[in-house]
Structure 1
Amino acid sequence: MNVACAPDMRVLIADDQPDLLDALRLLLKSEGIDMEAVTSPEAAIAALEAKRYDLLLMDLNYTGDTTSGAEGIDLLSRVQAIDSSLPIIVMTGWGSVDIAVETMRRGVRDFVQKPWDNAALVATLRSEINAGRDRRRRAEDDRREYEEARRIQRKLLPTALAQIEGCEIASHWQPAAGVGGDCYDAIAFGPNRMGLCIADVVGKGIPAALLMSNLQAAVRAFATEAAQPAELCHQVNRILCGRIAEGRFISFFYSVIDTALGTLSFSNAGHYPPMLVRLNGCVERLPDGGAVLGVFNDAIYQQGHVAIASGDRVILFTDGVTEAHNAEDEEFGEERLMECAVANRTCSAPALQARLAEEVSTFTSGAFQDDATLIVLAIE
């Protein structure tokens, strides 16, 4: 006696031969598999748009005078656009390597030769239906993890950056399709003094989001008015080295801006060096610091100091900006970012931030491969 599949298994069969459909209906009914039949590509699309199936079993030809497979190839593309997770098995009475390769490229999981062996056909259907359900469950789990990680990330990012007298700050965060690890924060210590940081956590999903949370908590704990950037990097690194998983790390830049004294002190833990664009168009980089956070427990961090004056602009960014690719797989790069910043250096912080973001978005046609963060500090 055959072991029947679960009665809620539903298969859509697309073929224009009535005798074949009748034979399949009798076979699958005896195996406990629900079947619905259609006789044209248009009917198949209508059925898939109306309800969800566990599998599509389809022919490649629907016009009596052709064996090119063109109709089936076109149908495969349309099916993928509706449900890319749907298992597809192709029935065919003939074989071609080129057609087989093309159908596999378009999502076909297996082939059934006409006439078929009943036991082999049922075994293939069961196997693909169960595998397809497993893939869909994993995809749903991934989707839930993505949503939770994105929720955590959005909660960690400040809705508005702290502002102090003598400067203006604007930020831009462009999320990618997957959850990245960009993080930034601003902490006011008084009317003329503040701490400003930007970081990029290696990794995706929930682990990256939780690591961001740990980083933010550590920075907030150690970022006091008296704390020097190099010392803060040292303390945060010691905390993270005991908690971070192997293979993960964080690039991090922390600075203290004092507009009353006209100084910017900083320490750079393996992050892209921010750009200090002077009013005269000269550009200085801010690289002084040490290794990325979370790798070397005994890492030593250096501290840099620069004078800042009215008209200066400081550009902080993550690799999602400079490593963004266009359709030709060309990186946006630091040179383009620098040129745009210099050309628009007299703009206000919000205007310069918007101009830089627009330049990157235009270059990539809006398709960001990673989270992209920009922070612009304008000294008034």
Structure 2
Amino acid sequence: MSRILIADDQNDVLEALRILLKGEGHQTDAVTSLAGVFQALEKKDYALLIMDLNYTRDTTSGQEGLEVIPKIQALDNTLPIVVMTAWATIDLAVEAMKRGARDFIPKPWDNDRLLTIVRTQIELGSALRKGRRLEAANQLLRGNAPNIIAESPRMRPVLEIVSRVAPSDANVLITGENGTGKGLIAQAIHALSNRASHSMITVNMGGLSEGIFESELFGHVKGAFTDAKADRAGRFELADESTLFMDEIANVPMNQQAKLLRVIETGEFERVGSSKTLKANVRIISATNANPHEEVAQGRFRQDLLFRLNTIEIALPPLRERREDIMPLANSFLRQHAKRYRKMLTGFEEKARDVLMQHQFPGNVREL
């Protein structure tokens, strides 16, 4: 179901279009002026705008509508605009398309043709928006699907939980010491999920200062602050229909946790500098090296936020408790680096293996 904005100064036209589009499963909002168009666009996102070109009484030139098309495009150049008028001419249609309209419908309209145009333009607009999101997301990505080495019995329950919960949309909280592979498990969950066709978006919450917290997560509009030279999508917007991995989640300051809770609960947020509410369908995977329940008990983390994050909780064991994985991991790393540096290295001497097996690895897999 798509949301369509209709602009026309005649109420009977608005009602006829509302009934026709409702029959196709669309939601509609109606306005009777061009000022109303801009007010509506500031508050909501629409899949399509159908607008009349004439609003002043006894005006038939279409200039009123033609003049605002570029202004609407400046607000959102992915929004398809279909114009309509009872005073249709070829020249008027061509001029409207030149200024940014996607199609032209004369009044009175043919229902079948109008519905075909609506379907086509909504599909094209959706494809364009997804392409823009993918382009922006690709700039943030690092790496691909993970290769998990886990032969230890301590890791079997972890892999079982991953395989069981990955296909769902349940939020997942991954806990464990630094270097235990929380990011790798997050990648695995995403790769096995129904969202795997979209790129997972990652953000290190511990690295976000309070000054950039909202801008990074929710985006900003041009001019929102000194360095905001252009509109920028935030991580939630980029992760629409995908997965957002929030690392070091326990480091989020208390005063920012309420803002995070709201978007996780509702999927709704506003870019910094804008009052327009956006909505994103995002699966949350978060990670922390802290004990989240202790953080709640100490008053450093909101309990209601923890409830939203840990629908499923996965605790990763430290490497010293999964010693069966030390040599398989070491051999894998050796092969990777031997190939990278073009060295003919095939394994470890017995003394080296003994040293590795006896070491406690306080830094876990990252230290290895």
TM-score, scaled to structure 1: 0.36
TM-score of the two chains, using structure 2 as the length reference: 0.38
Structure number with higher relative contact order (C-alpha < 8 Å, ≥ 6 residues apart): 2
In proportion to residue count, which structure has more helix?
2
The structure that has the greater radius of gyration is 1
